[in-house]
Amino acid sequence: MKKIILSILAVAAFGTANAQDGGFKAGINVGLPMGDIKDSYSLAVGLDVAYTWEVADKFRAGVTTGYAHYMGKTVDLGFGIEVDVEDAGLIPIAGTAQYSFTDNIFGGLDLGYALGVSPSGMNGGLLYQPKVGYQAEKFEVYAGYKGIAVDGGTFSSINLGFNYKF
C-alpha cells in the first residue's frame, strides 16, 4: 500500500515540477454505478491526476492515476434479511490520450489497470474509460463511462468530471 501511495505522489510531484508545459491536471468525478454493481453500490466518486504531452497537433497522451471509491448499499435479500455491502476502493494506473476536435470539444480514453485496495482481498482489473468533454484554458468538464473488469464482473459507472489544468 505504501508503494502505491508513493507512486501516486511521484506522478503528482513530476507533474507539478513540469506544470509550466500545461500538461498537469487534477480533478474530481462522480458517477452512477451501472451493470453488475448497480444493485450493490449507490454512488461512485473519484479523484484523478494526469500528466500529458503533446504528441501531435490536437493530440495529447500521458499517464493518469487517482482513486475510485464505490459506496455500498444495504441490499434486501428477502425474508427480512438485509446485507450491508462494503464500500470498494480502487487505484487506477493508466495511459491516457485526448484528441481535440475543436478548441473546446475533446474525446479521450484512459486504458490501464486498477488496483483493488478495499475491501481487504479485493482484486484489481483492466480499466477502460472513454470520455467526451468541453475544455477551456484552465479547466475541462467531461462525461464518460468507466469500466473496471474484475473477477466475477465489472465495476462500471457513468461519470461526470471536472479537471483543473495547471
Residue span of the structural domain in which 127 resides: 2-165
> Pairing mode, if any, of strands 81-84 and 74-78?
antiparallel
Query: 30: domain CATH number?
Result: 2.40.160.20
Task: Give the confidence band of 18 by pLDDT, cuts at 50, 70, 90.
Answer: very low
How confident is the model over 27-44, as a mean pLDDT?
A: 94
Calpha distance 110→130 (Å, rounded)? 6
Query: Which residue would you say has higher pLDDT here, 113 or 76?
Result: 113
User: What is the predicted pLDDT for the residue at 31?
Assistant: 96
Give the DSSP H/E element, type plus range, for residue 56.
Answer: strand 41-56
pLDDT at 79 over 50: yes
CA distances from 22 to 15, 19, 56, 146, 147 (A): 9, 5, 15, 25, 28
Question: What is the arithmetic mean of pLDDT over 37-49?
Answer: 94
Length of the chain equals 166
Q: Which of 27, 52, 22 is nearest to 159 (CA)?
A: 27
Cell of 109: 480514453
Mean pLDDT of the chain: 88
Q: Which residues pair with 150 in a beta bridge?
A: 153
pLDDT (mean) for 63-88: 92
Is the model's pLDDT at 78 over the cut of 50? yes
| Four-CA torsion 112, 31, 145, 131, nearest 10 degrees | -90
pLDDT at 27: 96
Nearest of 109, 4, 105, 90 to residue 50 by alpha carbon: 109
Question: Which residue type is seen at 70?
Answer: Y
Asked if the model's pLDDT at residue 11 lies above 60, the reply is: no
Closest CA to 34 of 127, 142, 158: 158
* Nearest-angstrom CA–CA distance, 155 and 135: 27
Q: What is the mean predicted confidence (pLDDT) over 133-139? A: 95
pLDDT tens digit sequence for 83-120: 999 999 999 999 999 999 999 999 999 999 999 998 88
What confidence score (pLDDT) does residue 10 get?
Answer: 52
Q: How many domains does the chain have?
A: 1
Least confident of 7-11, 69-73, 109-113, 145-149: 7-11
Phi, psi of 75 (to 5 degrees): -105, 130
Whether the pLDDT of residue 70 is over 90: the answer is yes
Phi, psi of 123 (to 5 degrees): -85, 155
